[in-house]
């Protein structure tokens, strides 16, 4: 049985003081919550948030990670540095990284393999643009992002991978995939994983949905058989909007 996994991606929001405040609110509100929880503050607040959530049921995540351990990579943050801060999960291939910062599948795969080598849980994001969906290519894109993102990842390492299906047209737009549409891609992604790693591994892997998930649509999305949680952006920025999703 897969455990429901709700993650909050704070993106480029929150000063340190604001991040501490939100993290404190979540620690209180999610104490005893029955799902698995993760929050990914900006790099600048990781240290501060780590102190607040240490020893609680909320894991610390980072929104990105470098594809190298050290060296001349101005502006990048190494997996070793993240580990040092207590980060346990890294989000890789978020659509904003793919589309705004032109990260391609090869770079994303390099990050995935390095992060897994260092023992992180990886949330690999996949998802089609509106143009791709309208051209009937949603499955093709999600299938190829899954295969290329996981290239070279062993069956054992797959235990550390979560996939997040985030249709690009639904992120931050207020448009959500219908539960049935999302379920279709989730089921297809599970079949893709089965093709790569076998049926047992596919049954085990957590596939989150992301894209304008809110308190009022979370229950219907999470009720789908292949939707195992959510990666939440906008609604993860306040206790009042995030906690109801976490407690669904």
Among residues 121, 157, 166, 186, the one annotated as catalytic is 166
Single out the segment in contact with ligand PEP by CB under 6 A; choices: 24-32, 154-162, 181-189, 231-239: 231-239
166 in active site:
yes
Rounded to the nearest whole angstrom, what is the least distance from the CB of residue 61 to ligand PEP in the complex? Answer: 12
73 in active site:
no
Do 228 and 2 meet the contact criterion of CB atoms below 8 Å apart? yes
Report the residue number, 30 or 235, with the smaller CB distance to ligand PEP. 235
Do 27 and 51 meet the contact criterion of CB atoms below 8 Å apart? no
Distance CA(71)–CA(16), nearest Å, equals: 27
CB crowding 185-207: b at 16 or more within 10 Å, else e: bbebbbebbeeebeeebbeebbb
Q: Which 159-218 residues touch ligand PEP, going by CB under 6 A?
A: 166, 171-172, 210-213
Q: Which 9-28 residues touch ligand PEP, going by CB under 6 A?
A: 9
Task: Tell me how far CA of residue 173 lies from CA of 30, 186, 206, 211, 214, in angstroms.
Answer: 27, 20, 24, 8, 12
Rounded to the nearest whole angstrom, what is the least distance from the CB of residue 69 to ligand PEP in the complex? Answer: 26
6 touches ligand PEP (CB under 6 A): no
**Catalytic residue ranges:** 94, 166
Residues near ligand PEP (CB under 6 A) are 9, 166, 171-172, 210-213, 231-235
């Amino acid at each position: 049985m897969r455990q429901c996994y709700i993650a909050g991606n704070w993106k480029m929001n929150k000063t340190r003081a604001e991040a501490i405040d939100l993290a404190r609110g979540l620690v209180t509100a999610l104490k005893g919550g029955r799902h698995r929880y993760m929050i990914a503050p900006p790099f600048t607040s990781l240290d501060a948030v780590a102190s607040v959530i240490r020893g609680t049921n909320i894991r610390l995540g980072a929104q990105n990670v470098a594809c190298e351990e050290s060296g001349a990579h101005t502006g990048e943050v190494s997996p070793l540095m993240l580990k040092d801060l207590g980060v346990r999960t890294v989000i890789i291939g978020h659509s904003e990284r793919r589309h705004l910062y032109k990260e391609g599948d090869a770079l994303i795969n390099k990050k995935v393999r390095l992060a897994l080598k260092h023992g992180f849980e990886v949330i690999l994001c996949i998802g089609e643009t509106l143009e791709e969906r309208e051209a009937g290519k949603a499955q093709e894109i999600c299938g190829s992002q899954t295969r290329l993102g996981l290239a070279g990842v062993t069956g054992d390492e797959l235990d550390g991978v979560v996939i997040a299906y985030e249709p690009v047209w639904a992120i931050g737009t207020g448009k959500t995939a219908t539960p049935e549409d999302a379920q279709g891609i989730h089921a297809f992604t599970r079949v893709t994983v089965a093709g790569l790693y076998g049926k047992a591994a596919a049954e085990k892997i957590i596939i989150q949905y992301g894209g304008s998930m809110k308190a009022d649509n979370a229950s219907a999305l999470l009720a789908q058989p292949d939707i195992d949680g959510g990666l939440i952006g906008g609604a993860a920025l306040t206790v009042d909007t995030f906690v109801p999703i976490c407690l669904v």
